[in-house]
Structure 1
């Protein structure tokens, strides 16, 4: 291989691996910080910096309100800095606040009511959830949904479905009283209920029949060879394409779908976190930037809509992560504000400083642990 060919191969590899990752991460970070920015502005807080990325500034400009919008060299996050913040983690600077003029103090973040500060902080994760719902709704509206009738083509031997009495030709009508319209509805309902009995109603020979099945947890591989854990019952849909079609949704239907899909992902993620702390989930499933980059490049090969849907999934994950009650994260700030509201005064600067240091250490440990998992998967 000559030098030019080697450089070309490296460049193409970087484009495939890096560009989808940067695209996904940038839109998630931008909308997260935009949530802080918009609500902060509405609360009368002066915004000094809106940064996508950390480190040296690559490009930027000042808007008419004096906010510096900038793109930085390390694209692994971002921040909004308000007047009165000591740093990008929004630690309060009491001394700086005392030295401010009355006009500046009226626009400083620490001088605002606890309600306005809490709303500004919570707006970041909320923006992540809104972004996810909008993406799910948009892709459903423009690309449609591939759906299949909930008709059983095959019952796998030795499966929970066989034990429950399912037969080929059965049409699933409901699960625990929830209507099943498509085969995907059935898969989604079952996937999060390992070892939990489900009462299903099927239509057989034109008559309703009640069956009870208990999903079994198993490890499966996606189309790229990545393993994931899910619950199954052993029902197979027809694979001849006769029962599958593209279903296009109207604007309101798409919006409802986007919200419902986002809520499902939120609930599933919260369940996963709880099960992980209870020892029921493998912590090796936690991934970091390397995993995100790898998955982004894989999904990008499927098209732009799947890449957007991945961004929606990650946006929800980042929103939930930021709501954890860990100082330096948005949830940690909200925890401090809850104490302030209950006590009638903020926690001492010393207590907050200790909390931020502990929070920073916890976040650093989590990042190292995620990176270790990433490296373990590659070796």
Structure 2
């Protein structure tokens, strides 16, 4: 329950900040271009706090903090006094209206730059891009990538962490570039390097499948399956296991790594399994009824024992992506541009069917990501905010009526024609835009529900 409340709180914070800043972009540019703003509201619904400025603009903090809006003087929405008519939005020349509408998405992009800059200055910890043994049928295996090698560059671009590597690989594959990997033989062997070409034949673009097809996953040091402590009341204690016992096999299949064993246990709640183990000089065997717990609506198996982890082996794999404040400025701008292009290309691939529509996140998934990133730390949460801000900007710039991009399209056509489109065409466009938004929202909610039920 605490996790749910935390996710909901951080979701509200994230959406409130991002949408309010989007609306502030419209507000700020409208004011600078001489358009009268009647109300700037953060949130919807019943006003909680209201303040009226010297210019008559009403500033509102409303009860539902999921967004906001800017209400401008407009003759299409009500009567306007003759002396105020020059300040009405609809009376402005097309270029002014274009700038006012574009200011919202631009504000989101500027906010993304600021958040990416914060992430780069604060530093984001991660793992060095050391490779696990690739599956036999994968692109990495065909190219000859070996376990323990470190990926230094992709197509000449340096990578320091797995987070950077995954983003860069997705970017290059979506753009249908071939992949050139510069590899280092091992973490402690910087002088031994080589370059491999990775064929994209048979590699699916969809992020759900891409990294499996490439066969690139983070290296995980082998953790010996030796029990250090037994949890009171757990399956291991009830079966008679003790500290120091080394697991050898389950149902005849060898157990050589604790992580592989733990993964199997989680997938088999309530199952009885025969475990062979070594205690001192003896080899023993016991039937164990695995325990089970419920997490996020799913039943997971529990063995009820812990092991000691060699922290030094993991420390050798840790890395941090950090830049000085000045160097972080162009890097943040570049990252915002690249993520914008990647988001746009992913939208395009969805329409061609190359990327699954399951990648469209609904509010529940976004809330979960908000809570999870906030629990990691400020840098992770700022990175989350930057990515969502980019997504909001790109979505709003799509040339769909009712979105900012649709208004920009209509205004651009008006500038070219010298006259606005007919009311009939604009009305048809509005109906299309509302239908598109309804389908998109329905898809997002469906994905959320499918994930919960599944």
Could you say if the C-alpha distance between residues 115 and 198 of structure 1 is closer, same or farther in structure 2, counting changes exceeding 3 Å? same
8 A Cα contact 2:133 2:148, kept in partner: no
Could you say if the C-alpha distance between residues 149 and 14 of structure 1 is closer, same or farther in structure 2, counting changes exceeding 3 Å? closer
> What's the counterpart of residue 299 of structure 2?
none
> What's the counterpart of residue 326 of structure 1?
400
How big is the shift at 1:160? 2.1
> What's the counterpart of residue 52 of structure 1?
42
Separation (CA, whole Å) in 1 of partners of 2:114 and 2:74? 33
* Correspondence 1:213 to 2:198: yes
How big is the shift at 1:110? 1.0
> What's the counterpart of residue 164 of structure 1?
143
Could you say if the C-alpha distance between residues 235 and 282 of structure 1 is closer, same or farther in structure 2, counting changes exceeding 3 Å? closer
Out of 47, 53, 66, the residue aligned to residue 76 of structure 1 is: 66
> What's the counterpart of residue 9 of structure 2?
19
| TM-score normalized by the length of structure 1 | 0.82
SS at match of 1:261: helix
Could you say if the C-alpha distance between residues 245 and 180 of structure 1 is closer, same or farther in structure 2, counting changes exceeding 3 Å? closer
Separation (CA, whole Å) in 2 of partners of 1:208 and 1:328? 53
> What's the counterpart of residue 181 of structure 2?
200
Out of 114, 130, 134, the residue aligned to residue 114 of structure 2 is: 134
Could you say if the C-alpha distance between residues 209 and 18 of structure 1 is closer, same or farther in structure 2, counting changes exceeding 3 Å? closer
8 A Cα contact 1:190 1:233, kept in partner: no
8 A Cα contact 1:202 1:210, kept in partner: yes
Out of 92, 95, 105, the residue aligned to residue 125 of structure 1 is: 105
How big is the shift at 1:277? 0.3
Out of 64, 80, 88, the residue aligned to residue 108 of structure 1 is: 88
8 A Cα contact 1:161 1:235, kept in partner: no
Could you say if the C-alpha distance between residues 295 and 247 of structure 1 is closer, same or farther in structure 2, counting changes exceeding 3 Å? closer
8 A Cα contact 2:134 2:145, kept in partner: no
SS at match of 1:127: helix
8 A Cα contact 2:147 2:219, kept in partner: no
* Pairing of 1:282-301 with structure 2 (within 5 A): 282-301=356-375
Q: Deviation string for 1:289-338 (max 9, x for gaps)?
A: 23222322233322333222212111111111111111111111101101
Q: After alignment, is 317-326 or 175-184 more displaced?
A: 175-184
Q: Give the 4+ runs in structure 1 shifted more than 6 A.
A: none
How big is the shift at 1:342? 1.0
Separation (CA, whole Å) in 1 of partners of 2:167 and 2:40? 39
Separation (CA, whole Å) in 2 of partners of 1:219 and 1:344? 43
Could you say if the C-alpha distance between residues 282 and 169 of structure 1 is closer, same or farther in structure 2, counting changes exceeding 3 Å? closer
Gaps in structure 1 of 5+ consecutive residues: 1-8, 88-92, 221-227
SS at match of 2:9: helix
How big is the shift at 1:234? 2.5
> What's the counterpart of residue 90 of structure 1?
none
8 A Cα contact 1:155 1:161, kept in partner: no
How big is the shift at 1:44? 0.9
> What's the counterpart of residue 56 of structure 2?
66
* Pairing of 1:337-348 with structure 2 (within 5 A): 337-348=411-422
For the aligned residue pairs, the C-alpha RMSD in angstroms reads: 2.8
> What's the counterpart of residue 155 of structure 1?
133
Could you say if the C-alpha distance between residues 80 and 247 of structure 1 is closer, same or farther in structure 2, counting changes exceeding 3 Å? same
8 A Cα contact 2:360 2:447, kept in partner: yes
SS at match of 1:191: helix
Out of 347, 368, 371, the residue aligned to residue 273 of structure 1 is: 347
